[in-house]
Amino acid sequence: MKDLFINDSSTIYLNSGTESKTIKSTLEEIYSNNKNYEINPTYYFVDAYQKLWHTQKEIAHFFNDNPKNYFLRTNVTEVFNQFILGYDLNDNDEILTTNLEYQAIVNVLKYKTMQSKATLREFDFPTRDSISTDEILTLIKKEIGPKTKMLVISHVFTGSGLVAPICQIAEITNSKGIILVVDGAHSCGALKVDFENFKNVDFFAGNFHKWMMGPKGTAFGRVHPKHHEKLKPLMAGWTTFETDSPFDTFGEGHRFATKMMPLGTQNFNQYLGIKSTINFWKAHGENSIRKKLNELTQFAYDIIIENTKLKSLFPKEKSLQGPLITFVLPMRSENEGYNLMKRIFLENKLQIASTKIKGVWHLRVSPHIYNDQEEIVHASKILAKI
């Protein structure tokens, strides 16, 4: 697997949770498309509309879904802006969220409360490794109040790495008429994402530049058809109203898909590269890629605990385990905060993440299929030394 990615023998990359390496064949596809673009930029750009739609169809097919429910953006932060700021809430409607969400997403929610009379409430979500699915569902039922209109929750929490039981949570919100917005930044690739199973999720944001190992700067929003009318595009352009040629080659007449597409003159080649990423997943098999990822994650967990004696937040319950392993830092490292990650890299050529959970810095490790056991053992010794 290693030679399917770009490596340098001295660097150990164990932070796929921030960004994964992009598959080499996907990089090559983008590079070759960029070269073709330069031969006749006008023709290439106009022609790219239908290629982009074709890519959107491939994406939807991969997630067992309909392409008209999707829109493409550069990253999950942009997708969330579209979801939250583009959806009108009534005065005093409450947005409920946990205190473990990614700060950029929390800021989008706060921004919403500045632009409307909606309110925001965060509830405490445990980080104990002994937490169970039942406990999570009971907690969510308890926290939903009479004013709650929207629940925003991560599928995989960036800090603790816990995988939230989204299908069961969606059943609860659906039965209470609450809009469920899922931050799936860490889902696609690491977990099976199938919208036949997620049919009660209202809004889902996912990306390709983390666990899918796709092009950098590619993400999608998935919107349940019942919200297509109500979601207002944040920006207007050629496709906002009924569209003419050449823009009508995107979307096959689906108004939602066309009004939400990326606007104006831009290079679509990052998005077009997603097709090659999906082909990689099909060729190697989703299940076998995930099996290797899970084995490496478990291996990293075991060996780092053994060599460092650090305590981890990695959940004990199997169904709550994801691709991220977070460790509690000793006090002196904790005080170093974000700089710890930089120092570890500069001194040891080992890339891990510093991550803040409830105001306290932790250390996060996240291997992917381009890693091997030997480098993980080496990384665990570096961490032990530090």
Ligand X SMILES: Cc1ncc(COP(=O)(O)O)c(C=O)c1O
Interface with ligand X by CB under 6 A: which residues? Answer: 18, 75-77, 102, 104-105, 154, 158, 183, 185-186, 207, 219
Nearer to ligand X, 75 or 267 (CB): 75
Give which of 380, 353, 370 is closest to 18, Cα–Cα: 353
Torsion of CA 122, 126, 131, 134, to 10 degrees: -30
Least Cβ distance, residue 182 to ligand X (angstroms): 10
Least Cβ distance, residue 326 to ligand X (angstroms): 12
Nearer to ligand X, 105 or 169 (CB): 105
Nearer to ligand X, 131 or 303 (CB): 131
Q: For 11, phi and psi rounded to 5 degrees?
A: -100, 130
Give which of 110, 117, 114 is closest to 92, Cα–Cα: 117
Give which of 72, 27, 5 is closest to 216, Cα–Cα: 27
Nearer to ligand X, 111 or 241 (CB): 111
Nearer to ligand X, 102 or 361 (CB): 102
Nearer to ligand X, 77 or 267 (CB): 77
Least Cβ distance, residue 78 to ligand X (angstroms): 7
Least Cβ distance, residue 185 to ligand X (angstroms): 3
Least Cβ distance, residue 323 to ligand X (angstroms): 11
CB atoms within 10 A of CB 97: 23
Least Cβ distance, residue 211 to ligand X (angstroms): 11
